Copies of this chain bind each other. A is one copy, B any other.
Amino acid sequence: MTRPLPPHFSESDLTSALNSLRDTLGAARVFTEESELAQYRDPFPVLEADHFSPSAVVLPHTVEEIQEVVRIATSSGLPLSPISTGKNLGFGGAAPRLPGAVIVDLRRMNRILEVSEKFGYALVEPGVTYFDLHQHLQQHGSRLMLDVPDLAWGSIVGNTLERGVGYTPYGDHLSIQCGMEVVLADGDVVRTGMGALPGSNTWQLFKYGYGPQFDPMFTQSNFGIVTKIGIWLMPRPAGYQAYMITLPREEDLGPFVDALRPLRLDGTISHVPTLRSLLLDAAAVAPRSAFHPGPGPIPDSVARRISEDLGIGRWNFYGALYGPDAVRAATWSVIRDALSGIPGAGFHFAGEHPSPVLATRAKIMAGLPNLETYDILQWHDNGGHIDFAPVSPATGEDAMRQYELARDRCLEAGKDYMGNFIVGRREMHHICMLMFDTASPEDRATTLELCRTLIKEAADLGYGEYRVHPALMDDIAATFSYHDGSLMRLSEKIKDALDPAGVLAPGKQGIWPRHLRGSGL
């Protein structure tokens, strides 16, 4: 494995900058050995395994140390790549977008600074995982519930900054973020919202503060290093019941989504449900080879047999009811009535069906952190994935169009369609998991090219993605091209103003500092 240098850096430039960092943090918290750097590479590489490699890793323990780190970086031009805990599977893991950037690993900053039972919030540092906060709530007998993503080992700050989602009523993670502390490239420390008022008692209660609200500008961005965020926690409901609705045919997707939309829009379904394709759920049961030993995509005849054997649909919808018995019963009857127009649809409560996915979703929608969704990576040997993740209007027509586009391109690439619609109030995140054998250079290349094609064809149909692997960040940025790229010009103006040396996460989300624009890195 090679250890890339930052652009325009010689070995001695790097050594000099790292020595300054060692002076600040101590030598034990500046890593440059291959064995240490290896854990920061993308676990699911689509380019060469060492393409997105750091030149070093530093581990600050405090905000003051981060201030020193960015000052050294700004004065020496050393590019940094801050991570919270560095999960982010399918989106590059801990790897920096810019080869040779120095990772600023914040995992040691893992304090739960405050939990308010009265108001329902927590204030956390970047190293705090969903497991950590959940455990803390349990240990303190909290009546609050934490919204968790599919894999709960990740950082709350990291997930929120990447605009990740969960599945309870608090599933839109940016919408439940309240208050932020950010270190800027010049070392300045900003508290947003009401946190800018000394002694403030509403930093985690009121988002907007006074004047421009900046928090969302620091998500999916490289304008600062976020060192604290507040998140809201939901009072645990009086009752809970997860359910699954199975749809027997591929083409049921369209009418189902059309029937679903009004239930999300009016809040009958008050949380973030998911609609998953057959093979994605099959992957939770067994490796691909157990269903189909041959190469190429799983044929329709086999898919039908899998559906029958597992007792699940070609599409499977996972939702939950929250609240007291009477409310849940009334809500369930409205949902059942509205969605029972699909011939052959099956309605199953958790606990009354053997599906392991239903059991997992029941935990996640109840805010119980786990890693069970990781099982789907057994699908391939050396299994990994990158995601094609377009946003879709919540209509049957759009869902079918996106499904058919993704399915057909997957089939042409010799891959299975493994998709998941995460259903918002008015739109859906369509997460197409492009699974591949990470040890196969051919499969890596095929997968990257497939994702690139999908991004382009989706953009031609008016669909954009919400998030992507570093290898394709520029591709997606290029699709947001209105007015000859005015949104990117805005990002670049702000980037240049806040980080004139261009040292924070260069290239993240396609935003490059001035000296690296157009460099094709």
Contact = CB atoms under 8 A, between A and B. Distances in A.
Given A175-B175, A464-B202, A188 B489 contact: yes
A192 B487 contact: yes
Nearest to A217: B212
A497 interface: yes
A235 B426 CA distance: 12
A239 interface: no
B216 A220 contact: no
A221 interface: yes
Nearest to A235: B266
B197 A482 contact: yes
A232 B426 contact: yes
- Classify chain A's interface size: 35 or more
Interface string A360-404: 000000000000000000000000000000011111001000000
Contacts of A262: 235
A292 B76 CA distance: 72
Interface string A457-499: 0011111111110000000110111110011111101101110
Contact of A190 (B191, B398, B486): B486
Contacts of A460: 199
A212 B223 contact: yes
A424 interface: yes
A127 interface: no
Interface string A257-278: 0000110011000000000000
A480 to B, nearest CB: 4
Interface string A498-521: 100000000001110000000000
Contact of A198 (B119, B212, B427, B482): B482
Given A212-B220, A330-B326, A191 B426 contact: no
B464 A209 contact: yes
A200 interface: yes
Contacts of A427: 202, 205-206
A198 B235 contact: no
26 contacts: A118-B395, A119-B394, A174-B208, A174-B213, A175-B175, A189-B483, A189-B486, A190-B487, A192-B487, A197-B482, A198-B462, A199-B460, A202-B393, A205-B393, A205-B394, A206-B426, A208-B219, A209-B480, A211-B221, A211-B510, A212-B221, A212-B223, A212-B494, A213-B216, A213-B219, A213-B220
Closest 5 CB pairs of A and B: A497-B497, A213-B216, A212-B221, A196-B480, A196-B487
